[in-house]
Amino acid sequence: MHHKSCTLSIAMTTYNGEAFLRQQLDSIYMQSYQDFELIVCDDCSTDNTIDILNDYKSKYKNIKIYQNETQLGSVKNFEHAIDVCTGEYIALCDQDDIWEKEKLEKSMREMHILEKAYPNTPLMIHSDLSMINENNTMIASSYFTFRNYQLKKEKDLAFILGPCGIMGNTIVMNRLLKEIILPFPKALVVHDYWIALINELYGKRLTLQDPLVQYRIHQKNLSNSITSIETTLMTKIQKSFTLNFSLPYMEIERNKVLYYLLKHYTLDVNDKRVISQFISYLERKENPLVTFYHLLRYNFVKRGFWYRYELLIKLLFTRRYR
């Protein structure tokens, strides 16, 4: 029988993270909640990342370091890290952020409340984030506000399919969720999208409005670089002269991920209908006005007026449909 050595596993992935890794590790070991193991999967770093990790391992005995023999990439590396975690709960962790001191304590407190209400159920806690730059200077106090993410408290499948708004570096999940998210689809580009989607379909989510992570924005970010953030900060007038006519969610092959979901998972009839409708958008199967109607009807897109107006213009100027 497998014996678990701790309550919580922290799944961290690293790749050439020497610049900010110590700050992240320090924030982990300053947590008010300390019943954890730290699992680190390094994806063939060529800088001093491994030296830094070994330095911390000499000080703290609850670190386990896995070095990949070949480079897996971010998604597969996170899949590996999650797979080797032994705790009843798993917190996901990037290499370049800073955790607020009570991040784990607050997340675990809410997790225990949630599991009393929903026993034997896949569960996920996630939170808002503040945003900092390379010099630890605050960019925004709320990532949710900055990105206009407005998740409902209840099930919000359509919004998860589109904007999602759940950042992996804030996620704490239970073992039951881990068991149904693995393996990741081969076409998956962003790991937190899949975790959030599966949990929305089969589990329960709690969204915490407290910014429990200082999310570092810099040029090497995979999901948000400082350049993309600066573009978002442009005024509405500037945007009107620099409209990008690419439609949201098209460039990351989400339709392949969703076809995998339809093939390998048993779905409720209503959930299957919502997913199929989103695939119709991704594959441009309807004319622009009908597409726009369905995007709004199902809430596949952010709820801001300006965002939706801009999206309509994009649809009308990209008329390709089957």
> Which residue ranges make up each domain of the chain?
8-216, 235-317
The model carries a pTM of 0.90
In the block, which residue shows the tokens 């206009």?
Answer: 148
pLDDT for res 306: 87
> Could you give the CA distance from residue 188 to residue 194 in angstroms, rounded to a whole number?
8
pLDDT per residue over 72-128, tens digit each? 999 999 999 999 999 999 999 999 999 999 999 999 999 999 999 999 999 999 999
91 backbone dihedrals φ, ψ, rounded to 5° = -110, 130
> Could you give the CA distance from residue 69 to residue 66 in angstroms, rounded to a whole number?
9
**Cis? peptide before 183, omega within 30° of 0:** yes
What is the enclosing helix (H) or strand (E) of 192?
A: helix 191-202
pLDDT for res 49: 98
Question: Residue-wise over 200-215: b if at least 16 C-beta within 10 A, else e?
Answer: bbbbbbbbbebbbbbb
pLDDT for res 58: 97
- Residues of the chain short of pLDDT 50, as ranges, are 1-4, 236-237, 240-241, 321-322
**Domain spanning 8-216 has what CATH number?**
3.90.550.10
